[in-house]
């Protein structure tokens, strides 16, 4: 799929829908709160911003992953007030980067866009800004790597001043020439080793990394480097190269992977992040019901209080 066409699809303004009864206030859902679990705005892409926040809070999500095009449409200052009133934190802001020029930015423009993302993160209080390297775009690999290392080092100085973490996201080989030439966790850790900045880590996306060989051994090595885990699944077959599914609905051993992250010492947020046209077409109530059912199937026991909400979950 052409990336420009893709952006035109996801930037279409969502159609406002009536807010379901019972979601008109920010009353605390009490025990049904999931402190280490976040839900990406991407998962509810077509839901208007205010409706999404109300639904999140009612469903017990205390943290939201924001998508920059949606945030810009709604307004950063307005979003910050809404989220503060809702008592919600921002787990991540996606995405910046594209240091190789594959997204239509020159290198310097990518740096300026990265600074814009950090400013947005400061306004809404985002914990992490997610970065993608950019596709190879005609560069030799050595040059592309140098662009990424230099670009992230430049952004990391400002991010450190703001107390924001940067997280570099590897992507599947399918996206080598468009979104990221970094296609494995090992390649991406190699970039981190060159950068040598404590506020730069990994954003691990199960859809992109869940099929790597010897994943159990790898995850215990990866976990200490990881700032954020995107939780989703790989459908079989997937209808497009972008199509994801909810955790537990695909072919990945999601529950086992998440448990290995916990065992490996990962202490960050697990963010449900699902690009799915099928999911976006559902009414709000059905969408969140599907999310709940999905999470009930794949929770790792290490999540403690959150896990106890689903005593009757079937085995993964």
> What's the pLDDT tens digit per position in 141-155?
999 999 999 999 999
Q: Residue 34 has what pLDDT?
A: 62
pLDDT at 233 over 90: yes
Residue 161 belongs to some domain of the structure: yes
Instruction: Kindly report the average pLDDT of the chain as a whole number.
Output: 84
Q: Residue 274 has what pLDDT?
A: 97
pLDDT at 25 over 60: no
Residue 73 belongs to some domain of the structure: yes
Higher pLDDT, 163 or 137: 163
pLDDT tens readout for residues 289-305? 999 889 888 874 434 44
pLDDT tens readout for residues 27-76? 233 345 567 899 999 999 999 999 999 999 888 889 999 999 999 999 99
Query: Average pLDDT, stretch 236-257?
Result: 86
pLDDT at 105 over 90: no
CATH of the domain at 212: 3.20.20.150
Residue 55 belongs to some domain of the structure: yes
Residue 316 belongs to some domain of the structure: no
Determine what percent of the chain is predicted with pLDDT higher than 70: 83
Cα 33-39-45 angle, rounded to 5 deg: 140
Tokens coding 312:
């009757």
Residue 23 belongs to some domain of the structure: no
**Cα distance between residue 64 and residue 42, in whole Å:** 10
pLDDT category of residue 7 using cuts at 50, 70 and 90: very low
**Cα distance between residue 75 and residue 67, in whole Å:** 12
pLDDT category of residue 26 using cuts at 50, 70 and 90: very low
Domain count, the chain: 1
- Backbone phi and psi for residue 22, each to the nearest 5 degrees, phi listed first: 90, -5
Residue 136 belongs to some domain of the structure: yes
Q: Residue 16 has what pLDDT?
A: 38
pLDDT at 104 over 70: yes
pLDDT at 217 over 90: no
Q: What is the pTM of this model?
A: 0.84
**Cα distance between residue 156 and residue 217, in whole Å:** 29
Higher pLDDT, 238 or 206: 206
Residue 3 belongs to some domain of the structure: no
Query: Judging by DSSP bridges, how do beta strands 226-231 and 165-168 pair with one another?
Result: unpaired
**Cα distance between residue 68 and residue 93, in whole Å:** 7
CB of 135 within 8 A of CB of 179?
Answer: yes
Establish whether the linkage from the previous residue to 237 is cis, with ω within 30° of 0.
yes
Range of the domain at 177: 34-310
Q: Residue 238 has what pLDDT?
A: 66
Residue 165 belongs to some domain of the structure: yes
């Amino acid at each position: 799929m052409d990336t420009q066409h893709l952006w035109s699809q996801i930037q279409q303004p969502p159609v406002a829908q009536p807010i379901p009864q019972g979601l008109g206030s920010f009353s605390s859902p009490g025990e049904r709160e999931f402190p280490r679990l976040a839900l990406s705005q991407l998962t509810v892409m077509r839901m208007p911003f205010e409706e999404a926040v109300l639904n999140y809070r009612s469903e017990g999500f205390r943290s939201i992953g924001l998508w920059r095009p949606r945030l810009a449409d709604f307004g950063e200052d307005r979003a910050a007030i809404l989220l503060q009133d809702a008592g919600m934190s921002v787990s991540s802001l996606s995405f910046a980067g594209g240091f190789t020029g594959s997204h239509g930015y020159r290198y310097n423009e990518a740096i300026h866009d990265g600074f814009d993302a950090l400013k947005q993160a400061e306004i809404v209080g985002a914990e992490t800004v997610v970065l993608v390297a950019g596709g190879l775009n005609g560069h030799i690999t050595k040059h592309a790597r140098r662009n990424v290392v230099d670009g992230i080092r430049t952004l990391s100085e400002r991010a450190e001043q703001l107390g924001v973490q940067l997280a570099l996201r590897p992507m599947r080989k399918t996206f080598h020439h468009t979104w990221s030439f970094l296609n494995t966790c090992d390649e991406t850790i190699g970039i981190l080793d060159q950068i040598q900045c404590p506020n730069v880590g990994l954003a691990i996306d199960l859809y992109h990394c869940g099929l790597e060989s010897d994943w159990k051994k790898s995850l215990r090595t990866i976990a200490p480097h990881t700032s954020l885990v995107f939780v989703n699944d790989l459908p079989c077959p997937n209808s497009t190269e972008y199509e994801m599914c909810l955790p537990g609905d695909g072919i990945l051993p999601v529950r086992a992977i998440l448990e290995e992250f916990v065992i490996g010492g990962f202490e960050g947020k697990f963010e449900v992040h699902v690009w799915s046209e099928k999911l976006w077409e559902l009414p709000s109530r059905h969408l969140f019901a599907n999310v709940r059912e999905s999470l009930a199937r794949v929770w790792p026991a290490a999540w403690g209080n959150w896990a106890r909400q689903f005593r009757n979950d079937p085995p993964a």
